[in-house]
Amino acid sequence: MSKVKRHTKPFRIAILGPQGSGKGTQAELLARRHHVPHVSTGDIFRAHLKRQTKLGKKIARLLATGTLVPDAVVMAVVRDRLNRTDCKDGFVLDGFPRTIQQARFLSTLYDDAYLVVALELSDREAVIRLSGRRMAPDGTIYHVKYKPAPKALRARLIVREDDRPVVVKKRLRQYRTLTAPLIRWYEKRGMLVRIDGALSIPVVAKNVARQLLNRHST
């Protein structure tokens, strides 16, 4: 991979998309390429789940029913993470913001000085993708078709609660209800970049990089 020119201003990106759109993968690729932290609310919450903290137990109950974590809780967790010194030159947010309230909170922190990538994917394709997703004991995510786990590990893989079809469909409905207005909100502010998330990972990554380069160069 070619060396990326560092930006004179912080590289702040938020990636939106329904479950299965690949936002975690694209966020990780972007963060690595631009030498900034990949800040995933999902990873933060799973760490609490693993440690069985008070917050982790609350999240476990919510995930079991496909209910989203309340805005106040999410915003407090994100604020704490973004206040760390490794985020001073930028970050790639994955899973945040999800609601208008969260977006207003983030814009208050950074005065709209960030861009938002929206990965677009149909509900049908999202369910197909997620039905094959599996998680290893260390939290690594595999897919029976797109990213098979090593044979020695396959017997230990589990289906996450939030990947069960009934939960996925409920969360997709929530996403459409809560995030569709959010996408329009960002679009009106000129901060949104739309990307077809149904394409292959390398093609999506190339399209994201090209669109962000165009926006940062203007």
Is 33 catalytic? The answer is: no
> Would you state the pLDDT for residue 183?
92
pLDDT at residue 101 in the model:
94
pLDDT digit string, tens, across residues 33-72: 999 999 998 888 888 888 888 888 888 887 777 677 888 8
pLDDT at 5: 45
Catalytic residue flag (residue 189): no
Distance CA 75, CA 120 (A): 24
89-111 per-position pLDDT tens digit: 999 999 899 899 999 999 999 99
Q: Are strands 115-120 and 133-135 parallel, antiparallel or unpaired?
A: unpaired
Domains and CATH numbers, the chain: 11-216 (3.40.50.300)
Place of tokens 């005065």: 111
| Catalytic position from the list 81, 129, 134, 171 | 171
Please tell me which residue in 12, 81, 133, 134 is annotated as part of the active site. 133
Exactly one of 23, 81, 129, 134 is catalytic; name it. 23
Q: What is the rounded CA–CA span in Å between residue 55 and residue 70? A: 11
Told to judge if 188 belongs to the known catalytic residues of this protein, a careful annotator would answer no
Residue of 46, 58, 160, 170 marked active site: 160
Report, as an integer, the average pLDDT of 148-172: 87
Catalytic residue (one of 12, 81, 98, 134): 98
pTM, full prediction: 0.79
